[in-house]
Amino acid sequence: MSKRSNYRLLGLVGQGQFGQVFCAVSRQNGRLVALKRLDHKRFPTHKFLRELRFLLSLRHPNIVACQAVEHMATGRHLVMEYCEGGTLRNLMTEEIRLDLTQSLKLVIDVLKGLAHAHDRGIVHCDIKPENILLSVQPDGWIAKISDFGIARLTQEVEDRETSNTGSPAYMAPERFYGEYSHTSDLYSVGVLMFELAAGHRPFSGTPVELMSAHLNQPVKMPEAIPATWQPIILTALQKLSARRFKSASEMLEALQAIASSSGIHASDVHASDVNSLEALPQPKPAPQPLLAPATEPPACLFHVQQKQTIDQPIAALAVMKNSLYRVMTDRVICDRYSASLLSPLKDLRFALPEACSHILLQEPVESLSLRSPGCFVVAGRSVYLMPVPDQDEHLLRPIQARVPAGVTAISPGGDWLASVVSTAQGEYALSFARLSKRSMRLATAPAEVFFKKRLPVRPQLFALDNKHVAIAMQVSMGESASVPSSLDAKGAQTLIKIFTRRGTYVASLLLPFAMAEAIVTQKPYQLLAIDRQHPQAIGIIDLKPYRIRRFAISITPTFLAATDWGYILANSAGQIVLLDFEGRQLGQITVPETITAIAPFEQRGLLVATWTGPQGSLYSLDLNEIGADLLF
């Protein structure tokens, strides 16, 4: 990239037939943008200027805005509004089904954007899920139309100086003959509505088969499509253009009538208002899931490899090499085991008590962090290092460091820690300290005050890599005032600030929801997070490049764990869900006791601690033996 560029690339977020789209940050104001680089051969200058002309003439909340043109060493770029939620296609997978009210809201958004474009004589000509971008909101998403690369003007439609470029699965019949009108876009919206409700398109096959179907085959309505939707879809999918809705505004009014008859305000349809179009809203309803799994995850066997009875609850677990770390009521214990926890032993074979390393606790443990030197135990004002046991017995003695009361994170290399501390004035300061393996020496850098208001919830701190940390703070939506202590998450967002380990500010990201429990995954710069308001739509937050994905799960999780094949989610009621990186539920395990902690180990192992009444159990599971759809 040219040194004169006003933007710093953060990563590739999309690639199509005409070019690439990057997430970038402005060097002047730190704002995120999308840089759309169009291939010069496939998208020559006259087409580039054509799309630019269209975009500059369109200013609407449901159309992706064009902000500028940037010339770089790699070519010309359109500077576009950034949509962190990806495309609508990302939500329309075989495993995930959108709530019907969410689907209605997204179609309304698309029609509002089309009405604006049609009023200005512009026909999009390529409406499909890949060209609908999403801006994440607390109660769902806002849909924005993108990619006007093959759009046409009404005058050109009349002159018919165009080709049938487009996506055959969503093309109106006349499009296959090079004819266009604004109702061609409405036909595509009809296909989109059908797919959102039914989970598949009305027609499928090769491009030739699709053309024949669009021209000749009648539309069959499956039972999955609500009765109130069917007349609108059938009208939009008429073969003859004249029989469709006369305008996007007319089709929009028909959808708003459905919403109104169901007691839904169509201008602000949220999944928390109703669960389906036929349902009547209730006063102050509980939030409904934004997404739902298309199918239930496979029921897996609770096939136990090993079991040990315990006489104290285990609050946290971690496994590293030949060591098992357990947080008990008043201590942290490190046990050696001589064989794999997956071996067919009758009981777990720990080292003798006198050979174990342990810490007597004076304050509750907040987290366990496995790093190359060993297990770091963060407990209030103290951080302990429990080295991996080896032949050097003196290393079994825990090393302790005193830190200010606050939130602490350990670097991935285990050579420094970061702390966020509340000052007497109610401000928050970030400080760093170098760590010595044997002495835990602290060399605190100057503290930097980065947030000058009291927060209703303690911030969360994440060591992203050996050079950067991220602080997540809950703030109120649309203003800087504190969120009430009752944690009304509907009016809250999460502000994430990123710093270098030297305290230099890098960037800020505002998540449009209140983030509860979150962990750093094994993918670089990625967080796995629970949404306070919609906990059954687990959030995957990529910080570089910035993207937010929501995956549907069948439980409300309490415990989170990340592995090199996916994610493990569990709740205290005894339900465990295995999720791959694409959001597919690979299996669900039911444990017949209350879960207090989980910990993955090796490649296919899972430890589960339970507690019921006066005693509990520590189970070791081999995930290859439970019947889950896992590939190792």
Residue-by-residue DSSP string for 176-207: GGT---HHHHHHHHHHHHHHHHHSS-S--SSH
Contact by Cβ (8 Å): 518, 499: no
Rounded Cα distance, 400 and 384, in Å: 4
Rounded Cα distance, 78 and 68, in Å: 6
The pLDDT of residue 249 is 95
The beta-strand segments (E) located in 477-584 are: 492-500, 505-511, 515-520, 526-531, 537-543, 546-552, 559-562, 566-570, 575-580
The pLDDT of residue 384 is 85
Domains and CATH numbers, the chain: 7-80 (3.30.200.20), 88-293 (1.10.510.10), 314-548 (2.130.10.10)
The pLDDT of residue 284 is 46
What average pLDDT does the chain have?
81
Contact by Cβ (8 Å): 280, 262: yes
Rounded Cα distance, 304 and 591, in Å: 10
The pLDDT of residue 565 is 92
pTM of the model: 0.85
- How large is the average pLDDT for residues 391-414? 69
Statement: residue 332 has pLDDT above 60 = yes
Residue with more model confidence, 347 or 186: 186
Statement: residue 459 has pLDDT above 90 = no
Contact by Cβ (8 Å): 159, 96: no
- How large is the average pLDDT for residues 209-230? 93
Rounded Cα distance, 455 and 84, in Å: 25
Statement: residue 603 has pLDDT above 50 = yes
Statement: residue 476 has pLDDT above 70 = yes
The pLDDT of residue 406 is 75
How sure is the predictor about 478, in pLDDT bands with cuts at 50, 70 and 90?
Answer: low
Most confident option among 147-161, 438-452, 601-615: 601-615
Using DSSP, state whether 7 is helix, strand or coil. Answer: strand
pLDDT tens readout for residues 502-537:
888 888 888 988 899 999 999 999 999 999 888 888
The pLDDT of residue 268 is 46
Instruction: Return the H-helix or E-strand segment holding 606.
Output: strand 605-612
Residue with more model confidence, 596 or 337: 596
The pLDDT of residue 351 is 42
Q: In the structure encoding, which two tokens stand for residue 348, read together?
A: 């777990």
How close are the terminal C-alpha atoms of the chain, in Å? 39
Residue with more model confidence, 196 or 457: 196
Report the percent of the chain where pLDDT is more than 90: 39
Using DSSP, state whether 289 is helix, strand or coil. Answer: coil
The pLDDT of residue 273 is 36
Statement: residue 612 has pLDDT above 70 = yes
- How large is the average pLDDT for residues 119-145? 91
How sure is the predictor about 458, in pLDDT bands with cuts at 50, 70 and 90?
Answer: confident
